[in-house]
Amino acid sequence: MSRFAFHRYNAKEIYEINSGLTAASEICAAEKTILSLAHSSDGAFYIVDRGGSKTIWKHYISGVESSFYQHPLVIRCVRTRNVNNQERVYFIALRDGSSADLCYLDSSKTAISYYLIDSKNFLIPDPCSPGSEFHWGQPPTQFAFDSHDNLYLTLDNTTPSGIWKIPGAGPAGVTGTISRIYSTTTGSINGLCCDGSKLYFHGDDAMIYSFDPVTHEVKPFFDTVAIATSHSMWDSACKPETSSSALMSPLDWIRSWQWFWPWAAVKKWISMDKGQRSKGVEE
């Protein structure tokens, strides 16, 4: 049995889904608008707030909240994982527009680089050119670990999008090769998390979906329409009850232009240099 928590887009409240998967209720509210959250083994939450934050906060259900760690770069998401019977905090920090660092904190809260994320390595099928692939030019900023040392990454709030798997995600670093295990052209993938075996994510609607990394089957898991209206975006979290590890996920920023620009115009914008982009997309 696992515990599932989530928050609505651009909100402070955290909700937990009941064991029967029939309802969700508010359990606490952070002091700041939440971008990303992760379970802590002591019952608290690690939180990254919106607005280009470089801080990971620790929030207790009682309402107490304090700074846990500050980083020199902008943090996009936070997770926790059990490593050698100790809780370890992981996070993704943006290096530039096309790469990011997946880091973890050691026992002295020093950030250790764990995996360099380069956008060029995360290719997805091109819906405008069957048989070819492209990359968005931005790095995946959501991730999850399963109980078999596999690392999963995804691009949130992009359509088309995908989920990538990298095996060999041990305590010191990642040794495996990237493979895409899922892609979609009908919606984005948001709030990726894992209960140890299955992955969970939000679509562009109010539904949480489950994804089996072995069979690649996607199924509806929980409808949050009673909490938030359709097309709201939020982050989600999953914590196995039988383990002290917390395998979580965050939802990164909404790229509003994506929903309104035609796909051909978006592709042209990606191919431009910064000077051309500042002038806008030509017809």
pLDDT of residue 240: 59
pLDDT of residue 162: 92
pLDDT exceeds 80 at position 163: yes
Q: Is there a contact between 156 and 190 (Cβ–Cβ < 8 Å)?
A: yes
Report the alpha-carbon distance of residue 218 to residue 238 in Å, rounded.
Answer: 17
Tokens, residue 64: 């107490």
Q: Is there a contact between 102 and 143 (Cβ–Cβ < 8 Å)?
A: yes
Q: Is there a contact between 166 and 181 (Cβ–Cβ < 8 Å)?
A: no
pLDDT exceeds 60 at position 203: yes
pLDDT exceeds 80 at position 234: no
Question: What would you report as the CA-atom Rg of the chain, rounded to the nearest whole angstrom?
Answer: 18
Q: Which fold has domain 2-273?
A: Neuraminidase (2.120.10)
Q: Lowest-confidence range among 49-53, 254-258, 272-276?
A: 254-258
Strands 24-29 and 161-166: unpaired
- Listed in sequence order, the residues at least 6 apart from 278 whose beta carbon sits closer than 8 Å to its beta carbon are none
Q: What is the pLDDT of residues 20-43, one digit of tens each?
A: 888 889 999 999 999 999 999 999
Number of continuous H segments (helices) and E segments (strands) in the chain: 3, 23
What proportion of the chain, given as a percentage, has pLDDT over 90?
A: 51
Please, is 90 exposed, middle or buried when counting C-beta atoms within 10 Å of its C-beta (0-12, 13-18, 19+)? buried
pLDDT band at 235 (very low <50, low <70, confident <90, very high): low
Q: Is there a contact between 59 and 237 (Cβ–Cβ < 8 Å)?
A: no
Neighbours of 219 (CB within 10 A): 9
pLDDT of residue 267: 46
Quote the mean pLDDT of the chain.
81
Please, is 98 exposed, middle or buried when counting C-beta atoms within 10 Å of its C-beta (0-12, 13-18, 19+)? middle
Report the alpha-carbon distance of residue 52 to residue 105 in Å, rounded.
Answer: 20
pLDDT band at 272 (very low <50, low <70, confident <90, very high): low
pLDDT band at 242 (very low <50, low <70, confident <90, very high): very low
pLDDT band at 168 (very low <50, low <70, confident <90, very high): very high
Tell which wins on pLDDT, 1 or 199: 199
CA distances 196 to 24, 49, 86, Å, are: 22, 26, 16
b/e burial code for range 132-145 (CB count within 10 A of at least 16 → b): eebbbebbbbbbbb
Residue 236: which of 3, 6, 4, 2 has the closest Cα?
Answer: 6
pLDDT exceeds 80 at position 266: no
Q: What are phi and psi of 253, to 5 degrees?
A: -65, 155
pLDDT of residue 86: 93
Q: What is the pLDDT of residues 62-93, one digit of tens each?
A: 999 999 999 999 999 999 999 999 999 999 99
pLDDT band at 170 (very low <50, low <70, confident <90, very high): very high
